[in-house]
Amino acid sequence: MTDLHEAASTVGPVDATQVPRFGGDTTFARLPRLTDVSRADVVVWGIPFDSGVSYRPGARFGPNHIRQGSRLLRPYNPASDNYPFKRNQVADAGDLGVNPFDIKSAIETIESGARRLTDTGRTLLTIGGDHTIVLPLLRVQHAMHGPIAVVHFDAHLDTWDTYFGEPYTHGTPFRRAFEEGLVDTAHSMHIGLRGPLYSKVDLDESERMGFSAVNARDFSRKSLDELVERMRVRVGARPVYVSVDIDVLDPAHAPGTGTPEAGGLTSRELLEMIRGLNGLNIVGSDVVEVSPAYDHAELTSIAAAHVGYELLSVVPAAR
């Protein structure tokens, strides 16, 4: 529980008893903008980029769709019994402008922008955008912490080598991160894998890189407590980066995404897994692949916003 001194030291969301939730600025959870606070421990940062997608485009519009879906979030999280916006000063840094025609240029821009935002020790929650953006984010985390344990929630491995000869796409970031030595694969894992593959070799190569895996079907065979424990044991005390591709959810819960696969996690299962990260050394996170053109009744944006909220709830308190 946060004490009164802590509570007084942070600027929280707009008071919904004064400004209705459907009004006012659309920042994440109606938090203050980064320019409006004297300090920030945690920053929500949008990267509207989707030039790395292989199927349905549109994730460039994801950040503001997630912000819209976050309007109903409230200051107290009863599931973890904490006030995430009091434990840390959280602010919205807006969106980064990146080159939509040159992926390598975009990656460089994301990397330099992330370095600027974290140079005072801030923790980033990045909202995308397609999964290409995780590579430069991991480069920045590696520069600060060394090899990073990654907990990767996704229907897909994202460890493929190339698409049409291109090495930088939303299906290749963890292959490139492995090759660059950014990831501590002995403590990393994929969660939620499912769907057809090009070849069994896809699984073999991911395993060769060292990634452990929890398949979506495991959620119907094992308890959530077992799967949470498996995740926590795998990560251990390592600095951990959490990457959430919203297509880890079944399309019934998140239709607004570029590469949907049937048979995915429920929103409840995903949120419980993220809550299971509490107490670990979370150094950064992202929520990606929200494509609003395919959404219905804000199902995907609301799910993504709650995922972001739970990620903010497990970020350690700033020292």
Outline where DSSP puts E strands in the chain. Answer: 42-47, 90-95, 123-128, 149-153, 189-193, 212-215, 240-245, 282-288
Q: Dihedral (C-alpha) 39, 90, 247, 240: value to the nearest 10 degrees? A: 70
Whether the Cβ atoms of residue 41 and residue 123 lie closer than 8 Å to each other? yes
Q: Is the pTM of this model over 0.85?
A: yes
From the options 3.40.630.30, 3.40.800.10, 3.50.50.60, 3.40.50.300, give the CATH code of 4-314.
Answer: 3.40.800.10
Q: How far is CA 259 from the centre of its chain?
A: 17
Q: Is the pLDDT of residue 7 over 70?
A: no
Mean pLDDT on 62-88: 97
Q: Domain boundaries in the chain?
A: 4-314
Cβ proximity of 307 and 287 under 8 Å: yes
Direct distance between the N- and C-terminal alpha carbons of the chain, in angstroms, rounded to an integer: 16
Model confidence over 216-233: pLDDT tens digits? 999 999 999 999 999 999
Instruction: Name, in order, each residue with C-beta under 8 angstroms of 222's C-beta and a sequence gap of 6 or more.
Output: none
Query: How sure is the predictor about 2, in pLDDT bands with cuts at 50, 70 and 90?
Result: very low
**What is each CA distance from 231 to 2, 177, 226, 280, in whole angstroms?**
27, 20, 9, 11
